């Protein structure tokens, strides 16, 4: 049950149904997909629900450690001005895994005069959707979210102990029913909390990695809600894991030699009559599908930074690891970056397989839909589809395999200029370059032990 208005009587009824609640977490999502905000006493709920919460506009552009970006024009040149935090329409969401029950109220940012602040990731996605609306189209989006359960005690990734056997997991168990049973209580609690927050969790499977799971989120013809669902789902999984004395991670590659965590995005596009423009009754799909694929392929190098935004992300994009490495597409081909699933032609859709689970769902979906729309508008045609292994290094252009290369490609990209506001691009580039510098200054234990006495 969700409260959808700022009316105090509505919120009072919501509290009666979901209480006792002592505090409200008023949050916005930053460029890294991290929720940031304020803890507000429940007695001040009307302040949050009435759109009277203010936060610095620069908060969406801090780095992954929460540090201000050196030279960020939103801080020093503008005096670090506040923005207005408005309701997203999602209302208050119950949070039951904290020591004291609370509610989460998702917000997004506006300028003082009411204009959307387009460096806010959610506002960036909304801007892309307005482009679709202007041409009479409506995307339908679903995500598949992968994560690992790990032991919370060690400082590095260690498989968890099975609640059923009392033994530590020691092998991969793809599609294992036993592993689903072992962690059945955890999964049941995840589904319960998803239902409470109106996150449409669908099928769960044990994935390739040890202690790795995937839960699909059902499709929605409101891509903003689909992105919201992915953000809230990650928070739910982490919170419920803590309740079960576990830790959950959406790192792209928590284990160097095991499968990474992906966030695959499925989408189709409806016209103003509700018809799927990718469907022409054939297995190949309509010309619009090929145009969308062409846009995705042409824009892939310059949007890779959004699909792989972190230092660890590039450990996942390696050949023969169930993650793509080349800019290619194919029908029912999971080695390609873009896969066209089979099935009934009325459900013809595109699966985008590049993004890691560590990425920001708003920016990922905005990049995918924006590049696809560029291809549709331009009538672009893709290269031939790939029927087999798409990892071959000499046949296809490469997805950037280096963080710095991805930042450079994003900065120089032409398609991204039609998708994202200049301020968002500038803030993201500065953020990522500051993070790259931070990692470059660190000497790892492995590096130290390798070189200490040898060189």
Q: What is the CATH number for 98? A: 3.10.20.70
What are 190's two structure tokens?
A: 């995840």
CA distance 185 to 177: 14
In degrees, rounded to 5, the angle at the alpha carbon of residue 277 between the alpha carbons of residues 275 and 280 is 95
Residue 406: inside a domain: yes
Same domain, 107 and 173: no
* Torsion 44-57-134-341 (CA) sign: negative
**Same domain, residue pair 264 and 193:** yes
Whether residues 113 and 135 share a domain: the answer is no
Same domain, 300 and 330: yes
Higher pLDDT, 285 or 206: 285
Looking at the DSSP bridge assignments, the partners of residue 143 are: 217, 265
In a domain, 257, yes or no: yes
Which DSSP symbol is given to 259? P
The answer to whether residues 97 and 157 belong to one domain is no
Q: Return the structure tokens found at 260.
A: 């990474």
pLDDT of residue 288: 98
The answer to whether residues 361 and 344 touch, using CB atoms and an 8 Å cutoff, is no
Task: Compute the distance between CA of residue 262 and CA of residue 269 in angstroms, rounded to an integer.
Answer: 23
Q: 373 in a domain, yes or no?
A: yes
Whether 264 maps to a domain, the answer reads yes
Output the pLDDT for position 6: 47
| pLDDT confidence of residue 437 | 95
- Is the domain of 288 the same as that of 343? yes
Residue that finishes a domain, picked among 118, 152, 172: 118
Question: What residues form DSSP beta bridges with 330?
Answer: 339
Q: Residue 39's domain spans which residues? A: 8-118
Query: According to the model, what pLDDT value does residue 101 have?
Result: 82
Would you call the peptide bond into 226 cis, given omega within 30 degrees of 0 as the criterion? no
Whether residue 314 has pLDDT greater than 90 = yes
290 with 397, same domain? yes
Would you state the pLDDT for residue 350? 98
pLDDT at 5 (0 to 100): 45
Question: pLDDT tens for residues 98-131?
Answer: 888 889 999 999 999 999 999 999 999 999 999 9
Higher per-residue pLDDT: 15 or 245: 245
The pTM (predicted TM-score) of the whole model is 0.94
* Residue range 200-211: mean pLDDT, rounded: 84
Q: Residue 179: name the closest of 191, 161, 193, 195 by CA.
A: 161
Rounded to the nearest integer, the mean pLDDT of the chain is 90
CB 92 within 8 A of CB 74: no
Top pLDDT among 161 and 10 is at 161
Q: What is the largest CA-CA distance in the chain?
A: 71
pLDDT at residue 43 in the model: 82
Does position 227 have pLDDT exceeding 70, yes or no?
yes
Taking residues 345-360, report their average pLDDT: 96
pLDDT digits (tens, 9 = 90+) for 249-267: 999 999 988 899 999 999 9
Query: What is the per-residue pLDDT for 7?
Result: 54
Structure confidence at residue 3 as a pLDDT band (50, 70, 90): very low
> Does residue 430 sit within a domain?
no
What pLDDT is recorded for position 42? 85
Percentage of the chain lying above the pLDDT 70 cut = 93
Tell which residue, 217, 38, 53, 29, has the closest CA to residue 123.
29
Same domain, 112 and 145: no
Whether residue 446 is contained in a domain is answered as no
| One domain, residues 275 and 331 | yes
DSSP one-letter string for 37-91: EEEEEGGGHHHHHTT-EEEEGGGGG--TTSPPPTT-TTTTTTTS-EEEEEE-S--
Whether 352 is in a domain gets the answer yes
Q: Considering the domain boundaries, does residue 226 fall inside one?
A: yes
- What local confidence, expressed as pLDDT, does residue 157 receive? 84
Helix (H) or strand (E) holding 101: none
Task: Decide: 403 and 313 in contact? Cβ < 8 Å.
Answer: yes
pLDDT of residue 2: 32
Task: Work out the pLDDT band at 408, boundaries 50, 70, 90.
Answer: very high
Q: How far apart are CA 168 and CA 124, in angstroms?
A: 43
Residue 56 and residue 171 in one domain:
no
104 lies in the same domain as 240: no
Q: How far apart, in whole angstroms, are the C-alpha atoms of residue 35 and residue 63? A: 12
Angle at 360 between CA 431 and CA 152, to 5 degrees: 95
Indicate the SS3 state at residue 340. strand
Q: Which of 91, 118, 145 is the last residue of a domain?
A: 118
Ramachandran sector of residue 80 (left: φ over 0; alpha: ψ -120 to 50; beta: rest): left
Integer Rg of the chain from CA? 22
Are 244 and 368 within one domain?
Answer: yes
Residue 223 has pLDDT above 90, yes or no: yes
Specify the number of domains making up the chain: 2
pLDDT for 54-97, tens place per residue? 999 999 999 999 999 986 665 555 668 899 999 998 888 999 88
Pairing of strands 263-270, 138-150: antiparallel
**Has residue 403 got a pLDDT over 70?**
yes
């Amino acid at each position: 049950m969700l409260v959808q208005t700022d009316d105090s009587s509505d919120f009072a009824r919501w509290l009666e149904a979901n209480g006792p609640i002592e505090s409200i977490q008023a949050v916005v999502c930053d460029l890294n997909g991290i929720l940031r905000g304020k803890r507000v006493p429940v007695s001040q709920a009307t302040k949050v629900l009435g759109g009277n919460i203010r936060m610095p506009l620069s908060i969406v552009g801090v780095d992954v450690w929460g540090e201000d970006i050196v030279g960020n024009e939103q801080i020093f040149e503008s005096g670090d001005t506040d923005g207005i935090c408005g309701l997203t329409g999602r209302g208050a969401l119950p949070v039951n895994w904290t020591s004291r029950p609370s509610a989460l109220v998702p917000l997004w940012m506006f300028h003082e005069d009411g204009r959307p602040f387009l460096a806010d990731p959610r506002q960036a996605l909304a801007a892309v959707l307005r482009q679709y609306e202007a041409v009479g189209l409506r995307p339908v989006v679903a995500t598949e979210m992968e994560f690992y359960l790990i032991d919370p005690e060690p400082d590095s990734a260690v498989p968890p102990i099975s609640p059923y056997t009392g033994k530590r997991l020691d092998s991969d168990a793809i599609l294992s029913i036993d592993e689903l049973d072992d962690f059945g209580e955890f999964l049941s609690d995840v589904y319960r909390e998803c239902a409470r927050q109106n996150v449409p969790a669908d099928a769960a499977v044990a994935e390739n990695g040890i202690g790795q799971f995937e839960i699909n989120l059902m499709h929605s013809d409101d891509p903003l809600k689909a992105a919201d669902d992915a953000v809230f789902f990650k928070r739910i999984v982490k919170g419920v894991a803590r309740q079960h004395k576990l830790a959950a991670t959406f790192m792209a590659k928590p284990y160097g030699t095991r499968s990474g965590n992906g966030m695959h995005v499925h989408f189709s596009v409806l016209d103003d009559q509700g018809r799927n423009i990718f469907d022409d009754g054939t297995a190949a799909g309509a010309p619009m599908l090929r145009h969308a694929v062409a846009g995705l392929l042409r824009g892939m190098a310059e949007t890779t930074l959004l699909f792989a935004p972190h230092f660890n992300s590039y450990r996942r994009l390696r050949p023969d690891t169930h993650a793509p490495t080349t800019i290619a597409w194919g029908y029912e081909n999971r080695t390609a970056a873009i896969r066209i699933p089979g099935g009934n032609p009325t459900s013809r859709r595109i699966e985008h397989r590049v993004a890691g689970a560590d990425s920001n769902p708003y920016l990922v979906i905005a990049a995918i839909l924006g590049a696809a729309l560029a291809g549709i508008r331009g009538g672009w045609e893709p290269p031939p589809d790939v029927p087999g292994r798409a990892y071959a290094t000499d046949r296809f252009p490469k997805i950037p395999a280096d963080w710095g290369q991805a930042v450079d490609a994003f900065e120089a990209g032409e398609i991204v200029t039609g998708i994202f506001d200049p301020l968002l691009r500038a803030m993201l580039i500065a953020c990522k370059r500051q993070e790259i510098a931070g990692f470059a200054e660190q000497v790892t234990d492995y590096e130290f032990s390798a070189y200490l006495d040898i060189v």
